[in-house]
Structure formats: C-alpha cells, structure tokens
Structure 1
Amino acid sequence: MVQQSPLDAPIAAADVLHERYAGRLPDALEDLGGPERGAVELPLHIVWSGLRTYDLDRPRQCMGLYRTVLAEGQRDDIVRFLNRDLLLAQWPMMRIMISRHVREAWESAFPELEHGASAAG
C-alpha cells in the first residue's frame, strides 16, 4: 500500500477560494480610504463588461460597486475603492448578497463586521 503524503492530498475548492479572498484583504479596515460620495469608475481588470461607473450617492449603485470590488478586486483595488465607514454601514445587508467565501474571509479577519451584522440583524 502506498502512503499518501500531505502534499498529494486533494485541496478543497472552498479552501482555495477562502485563501484567494483572504490574500486580498487589507491589514486593517482603517486602510480602506476610498471615496464616500460621488461617481467612481472601476478599471477594466475589475469590471470587464456592463456598468463601470457607479454613483456612491445612489444606494443600489454603491452596493453594486462594493460587491464587485469585494469579488473581483485585488488588495490595491480594495484599499483604493472601498471606504471603511461605507463598508461597515452596508455590511449587514451586503453580507447576504456576496459569496460565502468572500463573507467568511472578511468576517474572520475583521470580527467587527460580523458583530455589526449581528447587532443590525
């Protein structure tokens, strides 16, 4: 019988996704220095089709931008386009609209998100 080494063990897709999103996280929520108001145009490497310019003063567009950047943005994009206060304010609703892998990566790194969501819901 051949023994399997830990390096030969299959990697679960959920683990790969969690690591992908966890690797993009800022060091602290305070690093999120994105705009609080106005129009924001996302680059093509984040949004390659459809709406690229979002009005942060329109709640649905603001939520759309945040969902898109959380799912598709790299660390520099997240810090550049997301704002700490807007993220905290939107998180209770947004957390049910994003993938489980994104949500778990963010809430495990930043427990204040999960606690804020519990308090709001």
Structure 2
Amino acid sequence: MQVVCPTSTGVAYPARPGRPAVVARTLAELRGPTRGVVELPVRLMWCPDRAFDLRDPDQLLWMYENVLRETTSVDDLRHLVNGRTLCRVWRLLNLPRDVQMAWEGRHRGLRSA
C-alpha cells in the first residue's frame, strides 16, 4: 500500500505495516556519533542489551538497521545516525525493501554508494 506524504517522491514506504519509513531530508543533518558506545532507547530496541560499540563493524550495522527500521522520528536519525557513515555502510545494511526504497528515493547517491 502506498500512502501520499511529503517526500521527494510523494510516496511513503512502510517500515512496518501501517507505519511509514522515516527518512531525513538531507544526509548532512545526520550528525550522530562515529565512535564510542551508543545505547538505543527502548522505543528503538526492546531487548535489555541496547548498547553498541561503534568500533565493531557488526555492531554499527546492527544499530543502524534498528534505528532506520524502528524510528518514528527524524530527531532519532539526527542524533543516532551519521550521514557519512551511512553512505559508507549503506550496501552492507540488511533493511526491509521498503525502508531501502524510501531512503534511496530521497537520497539517490545511496544507490551507488
């Protein structure tokens, strides 16, 4: 199901049934951490172990996948995702197809990242 919303493509892609994927307007506004340990809020990750060491490539990917899939707020993206890092790891992320399409629809450079 496609829902009209204010995106560059005019289409909202669901992150989950009934909930559109949230996409930042620009990659430059994504100024999340690039090092250290980040603990996700419960609204983004429900298990007790929500801390991610960004030095570990697998943990970084797992954190980004959870944030991109679960967020309902652009503020989460701004505070938890780094635009340059996102470009670097984009092809390695395991995202639902609709989330991937929403991001690539707004940020065409991710397709060739």
Moved over 3 A (4+): none
Distance 1:89 1:75 in 2: 20
Using the TM superposition, give the Cα deviation of residue 26 of structure 1 relative to its aligned residue in structure 2, in angstroms.
Answer: 1.4
* Pairing 1:1-121 to 2, within 5 Å after superposition: 12=1, 15=2, 18=13, 20-21=20-21, 24-73=22-71, 74-94=73-93, 97-116=94-113
SS where residue 40 of structure 1 aligns? Answer: strand
Larger strand proportion of the pair:
2
Q: Percent identity?
A: 32
Structure 1 residues without counterparts, runs of 5 or longer: 1-11, 117-121
Q: Specify the code of the residue in structure 1 equivalent to 2:104.
A: E
Which of the pair is proportionally richer in helix?
A: 1
Give the drift of 1:93. Answer: 1.4
CA RMSD of aligned residues (A): 1.4
Unmatched 5+ residue regions in structure 2?
A: 4-11, 15-19
CA distance in 2, matches of 1:37, 1:65: 13
What is the aligned length? 99
Q: More deviation in 73-82 or 29-38? A: 73-82
> Over alpha carbons, which structure has the higher Rg?
1
User: In the aligned structure 2, how far is the partner of 1:70 from the partner of 1:51?
Assistant: 18
What amino acid does structure 1 have at the position aligned with 2:44? Answer: I
Deviation at 1:51, TM superposition (A): 2.7
SS at match of 1:27: coil
In the superposition, the TM-score normalised over structure 2's length comes to 0.82
TM-score for the superposition, normalised by structure 1 = 0.77
